[in-house]
Amino acid sequence: MASTKRASEANAVHQPRRREPQELPNYMRPNFSSLLPKYANAEAEHIRGAFVAGTYARIQRLPAKIAASAVNQARFEQMDENRLAQAKTGGPVTRNGLFTPFEYAPSRFSLADELNHLTRLQADAKRMEISGRKFVGGSDAARLKHEDAFGAADFSYPHLTEPYPDTLDEDRHRRWTEAKKMLHGAFVPSGRRPPVDAVTRKLLPQILQELQQVLAADWQDVEFAVSPGEDESVVVRFNEASIENERGLAKYMNVFCKSHRVPAKYGLHKVAEDWNAKPGDGGLYFVFRPPWVKNRSKDLIVFVNRSAADAPSPSK
């Protein structure tokens, strides 16, 4: 028993310990992308790309018999062939190898300055050989204000005083001071100014004339008149005796007020209280309200609301 126990202990000592399985790092773990199916249109795109100009896929690399996964298998085989292909060995391109060896001779940093200096000395020697003097430009050389323009070296213009006081700086300073008084932009008077193209009372004759022309062209057999009202509104009166269809006339005036160019141009709105009205004098009236006339409908609504509020409540 003792010998058996000793043998088992010896075997346990000599046997290596089993390593516990370590947890895989994150980059080695399977993710959701490994479970996704493969791209199904890879073969179709590879075949289509083989027939496109300027592509790396070749028609001769396609398999003769196209079956399921045959194009992908041929593509993988071509990739392995390109990756495992051995480099071609051959003789050197030139007699001494791929490149001709040469000895590198560094140049001095001052070589360019030395060449420019040598060029200038050669130019000076050539100039002295021709004339023996330094080169002097013609008479069109630039001169200062006090130098004579006609060749006298010792001539200088006398200083001429200004007969008038120099007030340019003073004027500039005064304008700057006046500009600083303006806190924000140009001065604009207070109040509300109407725009230039606003419709005013001055255009009332023109409005009446255009309405008369438009209605006369559409209602030649009907007697009507366009005139201003007592409250400066525009009144259109049709004679009932000459109207064949009052309902059609009312519909025409409703469409005319909403969509015609003349009411839209001058901002004419219909007065609901006096629209399609018959006061009993044998006429059918349609009243337009210009922009400068106050809307009476709002005052009427306020009056009705106040009257309803002031009325006594019925007793129970």
pLDDT of residue 122: 94
Cα–Cα dist 286/312, whole Å = 37
pLDDT of residue 301: 44
Residue 195 within any structural domain of the chain: no
The answer to whether the CB of 304 falls within 8 A of the CB of 294 is no
CATH classification of the domain holding 297: 3.30.980
Residue 196: is its pLDDT beyond 90? Answer: no
Residue 175 within any structural domain of the chain: no
- Mean pLDDT is lowest, of 24-33, 118-127, 264-273, 285-294, for 24-33
pLDDT of residue 304: 39
End-to-end Cα spacing for the chain = 121
Residue 213 within any structural domain of the chain: yes
Q: Which of 207, 228, 213, 244 is nearest to 287 (CA)?
A: 228
pLDDT digits over 165-175, tens only?
Answer: 778 888 888 88
Mean pLDDT, rounded, for 186-207: 77
Residue 69 within any structural domain of the chain: yes
pLDDT of residue 314: 47
Secondary structure class of 235 (helix, strand, coil): strand
pLDDT of residue 118: 95
Secondary structure class of 32 (helix, strand, coil): helix
Domain count, the chain: 2
Residue 298 within any structural domain of the chain: yes
Residue 91 within any structural domain of the chain: no
Residue 270 within any structural domain of the chain: yes
Residue 278 within any structural domain of the chain: yes
The domain containing residue 67 runs over which residues?
36-73
